[in-house]
Amino acid sequence: MPEPGAGSLAGSARPAAGAGVVVGVDLGGTKTAAALVAADGSPGPVHTAPTPAASGPEAVLDAVAALVTRVVTASGAPLRAVGVGAAGVIDAGRGVVVSATETFRDWPGTDVAGGLAARLAPLVAGPSASGSSAVAPLVVVENDVDAHAAGEAWRGAAAGARSALLVAVGTGVGGSVVLDGRPLRGAHHLAGEIGHAPVPGAEGLRCACGRPGHLEAVAAGPAIHRRYLALGGDPASPDARDVVARAGAGDELAARVVREAGAAVGRAVAGVVTVLDPEVVVVGGGVGGAGHLWWSALEGALRGEVVDVLADLPVLRAVLGDDAAVVGAARNAWSALGAAAPTAGRE
């Protein structure tokens, strides 16, 4: 895969304006992934490193900068821009963390964009230049679920669609609305966060945000496991994956919990699509691959609740897997550079 702009480096110690590589970063609570992503959305090899989330923001930014440095150095080209999808509520306009769960110590208020731009400035001049560059790379930051959704909209299940709702169901429940390739940010940096939507079936169940009755409290993986145990399920069951496996193998209680979790997602999606009328719905995340019982409950609840014109709304599985947020974060960087096609689809 040729690197964008790499040809302009020939015979020159310093990059021409606009030359260099773009790196996408998926900054998660336990692991960070990064890769070069070309202007057409194709990713290079993905490099990963543990995220020292409990060690505070400086340690996290140091680790991310080290990982990006590894990716850029391996390319032999100068760095042009970095797109980051980060856990937490992110002010994408400033690249600053608004709020986050306790996984990340002291994460709220962290200037991710500024902290990374300063750390990565030496890479802008390229490996063949001596001394440090006075110019910092462009660094843009968004919420990781928004990055995931942008990746699926660019190169994945929603490629070619003008509008999409992505729902990611895993250890939490996240969501994002993508319009013309760009995630809707919202007035309070919260657009698409379907996990904190009130939903029938979650009454009295406490959400990770502290409030009762939200979708995440009944539909996330840990909620499925907790609920199975609370209703008298086998105490030897270690996690949601096991509950889903038991449901598929005929455990009636497990099946009920999995069905109700899937139906809760379907009802919440019904509410959102009725308001937004997206072209497609894409469902991803660890629980999002939870098998036929969960999917049929989701689709049954969704199609049972929406008006007739939405009856055939496509509900698709996410296809990019772990690469989605890396690709989508880079999409944001290419877009900020003015280089990405607004609605580029798959070949």
- Binding region for Zn ion (CB under 5 A): 196, 207, 209, 214
CB of 275 to Zn ion, least distance (A): 19
DSSP one-letter string for 14-54: SPPTT-SEEEEEEE-SSEEEEEEB-TTS-B-PPEEEE--GG
Cβ neighbours around 72 below 10 Å, total: 25
Give the shortest CB-68-to-Zn ion separation in angstroms. 32
Q: What is the 3-state secondary structure (H, E, C) of 82-104?
A: EEEEECCEEECCCCEEEECCCCC
**Smallest separation (angstroms) from Zn ion to the CB of 245:** 27
Closest CA to 317 of 162, 178, 168, 176: 168
Q: Which CB sits closer to Zn ion, 99 or 128?
A: 99
Q: How far is the CB of 340 from Zn ion (least distance, A)?
A: 33
Nearer to Zn ion, 189 or 331 (CB): 189
Shortest reach from residue 208's CB to Zn ion, in Å: 6
Q: How far apart are CA 182 and CA 82, in angstroms?
A: 17
CB of 214 to Zn ion, least distance (A): 4
> For residues 37 and 202, which CB has a smaller minimum distance to Zn ion in the complex?
202
174 or 278: CB nearest Zn ion: 174
Q: What amino acid occupies position 262?
A: G
Instruction: For residues 27 and 13, give the distance between their C-alpha atoms in angstroms, rounded to a whole number.
Output: 32
User: Which tokens belong to 111?
Assistant: 């200037």
Q: Is the CB of 182 or the CB of 227 nearer to Zn ion?
A: 227
User: Is 196 or 259 the residue whose CB approaches Zn ion more closely?
Assistant: 196
For 78-107, letters b (16+ CB in 10 Å) and e give bbbbbbbbbbbbbbbeebbbbebeeebeeb
CB of 207 to Zn ion, least distance (A): 3
Alpha carbons 156 and 161: distance in angstroms, whole number: 10
CA geometry: angle at 221 spanning 329 and 209, to 5°?
A: 75
CB of 218 closer than 8 Å to CB of 230: no
Q: Residue 139 half-sphere exposure, CB side, CA atoms within 13 Å?
A: 27
- Shortest Cβ distance from residue 336 to Zn ion (Å)? 31
Phi-psi region of 11 (alpha: psi -120 to 50; beta: other; left: phi over 0): left
Q: How far is the CB of 196 from Zn ion (least distance, A)?
A: 4
Nearer residue to Zn ion within complex by CB, 101 or 343: 101
Which is nearer to Zn ion, 14 or 206 (by Cβ)? 206
Encoding tokens for residue 18? 């606009």
70 or 211, CB closer to Zn ion? 211
- Please check whether residue 149 is in contact with residue 143, taking contact to mean a CB–CB distance below 8 angstroms: no
